[in-house]
Amino acid sequence: MNTTRERRFPDKFLWGAATSAHQVEGGNTHNDWWRFEQQPGVIRGGRGSGEACRHHERFAEDFALAAADGHGAHRLSLEWSRLEPRRGHFDAAAVAHYHEVLGALRRLGMTPIVTLHHFTNPLWIADAGGWESRDTIDRFAEFATFCAREFGGEVDWWCTVNEPEVFAFRGWSEGIWPPAVRDNSRALGVIAHQLEAHGRAYHAIHEADRLDADGDGHAALVGFAKHHVQLEALRPWHPLDRLVAHFERRVFNEAVEQATVTGRIDLAIPGARPVRRDVPGLKGALDWFGLNYYTRWRVKSLAREPHVATPGAPLNDLGWEVWPEGFRRALHSAARAGKPVLVTENGFADAGDTLRPRALFEFAEAMHRAIAEGVPVAGYLHWSLLDNFEWADGWHGRFGLYGVDPADPRGPRRRTRSAEVLARLARANALTPEVEEAAGRVALGARRD
Ligand code: GAL
């Protein structure tokens, strides 16, 4: 294929980066993650979120870096525990802070894409049963209403929940995130509650946000972010590998992707209590589909390590396979929700920034191909603008277009070559020879790591 010919992206395509509050802000002491991090042994390397990137103070400077790189959009999350530290009590200083944050983005000409739940919960939510309690659905819908009313004049793109399936499996099945439960039945219940909460928030936001922030005729565009993982048998001839991969694909990808299409929650895993119910108001409760895509796992049944990377494939620093074709396929799956797809996350942990520039280029090519095949992609938000606190992996996964030293969050942000690749893509809104020049010409498939 001719990789030097210019290949354009659609007009008004949103290019930018994504972050989440707890991972970058620092000092989020009123949520369940902060409390969890204080326990010995739960965070790789032992360093918790702490001051993180001090983005709570440095947001204007960080956004200026993104704007200078041609980003026209930025995904961020509002920290529920800051805004509502006690039930029904909204903190005026936190509200003012997020107005400043959103104002800073608007002044720089960047469209904010605002997530309302990115894994963290106020302590009062966690202590009242968290996402296992149906009351949390009501509390979240109230929070969404508050945010839509308060920030609707600055925000049109709303992302209700981030990755219900990752949130639930890490916290309630693998037990490596709070509340550290290991029970698949309870995990399924949590996914269901998050999907219901999405449906409720969808209507609440449309009700409360009547202000069109950028004059394009839409006061509110509401979606959620789904983490799509390619799951395939490690040994294609092995019936059990294939069966397990099939079940995992169904529960992890398909059931969540189809929930707003059918209005039905249908979650099942062998050995766990299934959750099957029709949810009033969920059908059609979606204006755009948020796709978070990173990797493919090979399923190895009856093994101690049930998911492994494809042998010989290029890997990121966390051992995740880097496979552009998987991204193209994930975009096609996302399109089955029948709505425009916004890539709410895609990135590569690469502390040395060695594989990432080329990976970014090849993922952009894969996305371009998907668009040419008919997938309506609205934008691409790279994970992440800054190196940040990677949950249980601590500071091991370095995803930042800008490097941050966690020991010196007041220090300089270090621009990477990947930042330049994305900047060239964003400015040209096309795959040009200049983009490929910044990315390097050695194909990922030709690498031997
Ligand atoms: C996603 C998550 C992000 C970030 C990313 C990279 O699952 O939404 O918060 O951690 O993975 O690991």
Mean pLDDT by 10 residues, the chain (449 residues): 72 98 98 98 98 98 99 99 98 98 98 99 98 98 98 98 98 98 98 98 98 96 98 97 97 98 97 97 98 98 96 97 98 98 99 98 98 98 98 98 98 98 98 97 80
Assess whether the C-beta atom of 383 lies below 6 angstroms from ligand 1: yes
DSSP assigned state of 393 = G
Strands 341-346, 377-383: pairing is parallel
Assess whether the C-beta atom of 346 lies below 6 angstroms from ligand 1: no
How many A from CA of 51 to the centre of ligand 1? 19
The model's pTM: 0.98
pLDDT at 5: 63
Strands 73-77, 288-299: pairing is unpaired
Residues 6+ apart with CB under 8 A from 27: 51, 52, 56
Q: Using an 8 Å Cβ cutoff, are 418 and 435 in contact?
A: no
Q: What residue ranges do the domains of the chain occupy?
A: 7-446
Structure token digits, residue 75: 């995904």
DSSP assigned state of 169 = I
Burial class (CB in 10 A: 0-12, 13-18, 19+), 264: middle
pLDDT at 2: 47
How many A from CA of 18 to the centre of ligand 1? 10
pLDDT at 446: 85
Ligand 1 atom with least separation from CA of 391: 10
Burial class (CB in 10 A: 0-12, 13-18, 19+), 338: exposed
How many A from CA of 98 to the centre of ligand 1? 22
CA nearest 349: which of 412, 289, 391? 391
**Third-level CATH fold of 7-446:** TIM Barrel (3.20.20)
How many A from CA of 162 to the centre of ligand 1? 9
pLDDT at 6: 75
The DSSP string of 119-157 is S--BHHHHTTTGGGSTHHHHHHHHHHHHHHHHHTTT--E
